[in-house]
Amino acid sequence: MKSAASCIAMMITWICTIVSDESHSPPDWNWPMFRGNGSSHAIGQELPKSWSNDSLKWKTEIGGIGQSSPVGWKDRLFTTSVKGKSKDILVVSCFQLRDGTELWTYEQDSATRSEVSDYSSWAAPTPVVDGKRVYAFFEDGDLFAITHRGEMVWKKDLRGSIGPFEGNHGLGASPILTRKGLVLSLDHEGQSFLISVDKENGNLQWQTKRQTSSAWASPSLISTNVREIIVISASRTVIAYDASHGEILWEVTGIIGNNVPSVTISGNWMAIGSNPKGHCRVLRLKEGQVEEVWRSKEASSSFGSPLIYKGRVYFVNKTGFLFCHDLKTGVLLYDYRLPSSTWATPLAAGDHAWFFTQSGHTVILKASDELEVASESSIDIETKDRVFGYAIMNGHVVFRTKKQLICVGK
């Protein structure tokens, strides 16, 4: 493993052209994984700027409880949830984007039982979908692939083969798809791993030990004209791996409180969120080097991942404070107090940055150097429920609460 001193400015001779998130966006406005294209950018979509409970397009019950974000492919949305006091049943559901009609639900007995409480995760990892299958991963180690018609292709019990997984909250990182496999980060209080499995059958392709404790940040992907690189934020480190075999390429150390926000990558820029002030930072991939450009003295980032957009980077913490910095210089342009606590990652769309609170408020800000609130809207959600995530598809904004999908759109 590389030393801490060498990780920031080490040579990475194989980095050539970084593929920007705009050119790497999926076709047909799909939203295939956590944060859509991996950077929370809704590319080329005309979205509603305001709404009310009277103008919702549809609302539907999911049929279980969960914290994962929805994903979508063409005209279908997919969700995960659990049922039972001990997460006895794992659920994958498919809904029609147009009107929220449930098309099918697949239920699978959990290989491992764990108590449901306010201190444990409920279907926290977001699934990932491609043109053939949806891949669902649950925090106790169950992993399976299902066709778009709801037919089981394969299933694996990772707790039995790689675990057990130790910790109070279960696993929370969402899987990502590479050209060759399905990659999962298994960070917990025991021996942690990064693994890749074959998309066709779930067989293990490679596994790499990680010297980290519990973390819930999801992997991010850099595509170059030479290879794919997986970047993961974890306890006190950010580590890059070769996606083809799991070899460590570089590491950034000395970070505190970064075990929940995922790394955000946009072009040659990389933003790392951290909970205490003084550790949110921006790095740059330039001329074969990874170098720290600046770190914020003001910002903190609790659960939601950073957003990079139009020359600015946004950090938001769980209390609802957001911080907007100039991407290149790190100058704090403004901060702003959202109406309530915020867990979801911000969204970039058109000329605006969107922020979603747990209580159902959406604040849309002009993407500029000065604070300009373009609109504020809200949806009614049940008492003690929360907005955990969203999907953006074909001009629709679909919110995920613990028990419901709520859609607004033109």
Distance CA 10, CA 290 (A): 6
The per-residue pLDDT for 287 is 66
- φ/ψ of residue 31, rounded to 5: -125, 80
- Residues 283 and 296: beta-carbon distance below 8 Å: no
The per-residue pLDDT for 6 is 41
β-bridge partners, 145: 135, 154
Listing from the earlier edge strand, what are the strands of the sheet with 387-393?
Answer: 58-61, 404-409, 396-401, 387-393
Own/partner pairs, 372-379, CB within 8 angstroms, 24+ separation: 374/49, 375/49, 375/50, 376/50, 376/339, 377/50, 377/51, 377/52, 377/408, 378/52, 378/53, 379/51, 379/53, 379/56, 379/406, 379/408
Strand ranges inside 43-118, DSSP E: 58-61, 71-73, 76-83, 89-96, 102-109
Fold of 4-409: Methylamine Dehydrogenase; Chain H (2.130.10)
β-bridge partners, 282: 271, 294
Neighbouring C-beta atoms of residue 5, cutoff 10 Å: 9
- 277, 333, 269, 259: which is closest to 307 by C-alpha? 269
Own/partner pairs, 271-274, CB within 8 angstroms, 24+ separation: 271/306, 271/307, 271/308, 271/313, 271/315, 272/233, 272/238, 272/306, 273/233, 273/301, 273/304, 273/305, 273/306, 273/315, 274/300, 274/301
Distance CA 313, CA 270 (A): 10
Tokens of 61: 């019950």
Helices (H), 64-198: 158-161
Start-to-end CA distance of the chain, whole Å, equals: 51
How many residues are there in the chain?
410
The per-residue pLDDT for 118 is 56
Distance CA 182, CA 154 (A): 13
Distance CA 405, CA 400 (A): 5
Range 143-168 burial, b when 16+ CB lie within 10 A, else e: bbbbebeeeebbebbbbeebbebebe
β-bridge partners, 41: 348
β-bridge partners, 377: 362
- Residues 321 and 337: beta-carbon distance below 8 Å: yes
CA geometry: angle at 294 spanning 1 and 246, to 5°? 25
Helices (H), 113-220: 158-161
Residues of the chain with pLDDT under 70: 1-28, 113-120, 168, 287-289
CA geometry: angle at 329 spanning 328 and 333, to 5°? 105
The per-residue pLDDT for 117 is 57
The per-residue pLDDT for 76 is 97
- Residues 213 and 188: beta-carbon distance below 8 Å: yes
Instruction: Name the residue type at position 11.
Output: M
**Structure confidence by residue, pLDDT tens digits, 163-220:** 777 776 778 899 999 999 999 998 877 788 899 999 999 999 999 998 887 778 899 9
The per-residue pLDDT for 8 is 40
Distance CA 220, CA 176 (A): 8
